[in-house]
Amino acid sequence: MLKTRGLYFSYRPEGGTPFALAGIDLEIYRGQHTAIIGPSGSGKTTLLKHFNGLLGPTRGEVLVSGRTTSCTSQLPSIRRICAMIFQNPDNQLVATTVEEEIAFGLENYRVDPKKIREQVDWAMGKLNISHLAAYPPHLLSGGQKRKVAVASAIAMQPQCLLADEPSSMLDPDSRRELQELLRSLQRELGLTLLQVTHYLEEAALADRVLLLDRGRVTADGPPEKVLTDLGRLHAAGLTSSTAAELAALLREEGLALPAGIVQNQELVDSLCLLKPSG
């Protein structure tokens, strides 16, 4: 579905700054939910922007469903395949009502107005925001703005969603709600979901986790493996989830906990199951 070959990228190719992406070879499969983690400045946003052609490689190649992003005539179709949800939703809002906002992308593609209406209504329904159709987007709460951004993206009926820290401004309840929503869209519509997150508890729900460090992929695998590789995470300046960190401390104390603990409840279940009865 998405592929990079020998991808290098510099914001100033004439030199002076290190590569923001320094040799990335990746293949993301159709329908997969991949979480990208990494310290601030490691290149997560830069990588995501390569998959819908907002940025083009300095060296190497990026392929979206077999189309190269280096060919500008392919960009319109690539952007319909891969829809992006940006880090800061305010930068994405352009219209005066929620429904115009969601229709905006489709109008750019000169989709038939009747079809636009249908897809906008469908997207608002999916996100439970039909009641906000006539509301000015800039007066919405952070969580609601996020939902509008997701609705705008899925209204395009993309095959792939690129979500850049969609939950970083949200409270815990809205975060969980958004996470469940993205998951169900991914399952129901067969979407490929590529999501950047700083919350490793959230990354734990993905099929696959990529760790980015200084423009390179330094770990790639299922969450229970990448998120419990504390050595590598610490080397990148990150800590794992609280449960994974606490499990490691308890193992040092001689508690025989199983490997692969990432979530609070997993730790609690293991502790209660394994505690020697006194």
Ligand X SMILES: Nc1ncnc2c1ncn2[C@@H]1O[C@H](COP(=O)(O)OP(=O)(O)O)[C@@H](O)[C@H]1O
Residues forming the site for other proteins (CB under 8 A): 11, 38-41, 45, 87-88, 90, 136, 139, 141-143, 165, 168-174, 176, 198, 200-201, 237-239, 241-243, 245-246, 249-250, 253, 255, 264-265, 267-268, 271-272, 275-276, 278
| Separation between Cα atoms, residue 186 and residue 166, nearest integer Å | 15
**Among the residue ranges 36-44, 72-80, 118-126, 216-224, the one whose residues contact ligand X (CB under 6 A):** 36-44
Nearest approach in angstroms of CB 144 to other proteins is 8
Q: Residues 121, 114: contact at Cβ < 8 Å?
A: no
- Taking the least distance from each CB to Mg ion, the nearer of 43 and 223 is 43
- The footprint of Mg ion on residues 26-45 (CB under 5 A) is 44-45
Give the count of residues interacting with ligand X (CB under 6 A): 12
Q: Does 162 bind ligand X (CB under 6 A)?
A: no
Nearest approach in angstroms of CB 172 to ligand X is 13
Residues in the chain: 278
- Taking the least distance from each CB to ligand X, the nearer of 145 and 208 is 145
Q: Does 141 bind ligand X (CB under 6 A)?
A: yes
| Separation between Cα atoms, residue 3 and residue 81, nearest integer Å | 14
For the purposes of burial, counting CB atoms within 10 Å of the CB of 254, is it exposed (0-12), middle (13-18) or buried (19 or more)? exposed
The alpha carbons of the chain give a radius of gyration, in whole angstroms, of: 20
For the purposes of burial, counting CB atoms within 10 Å of the CB of 100, is it exposed (0-12), middle (13-18) or buried (19 or more)? middle
Q: Residues 214, 200: contact at Cβ < 8 Å?
A: no
| Interaction site with Mg ion (CB under 5 A) | 44-45
| Interaction site with ligand X (CB under 6 A) | 11, 20, 38, 40-46, 139, 141
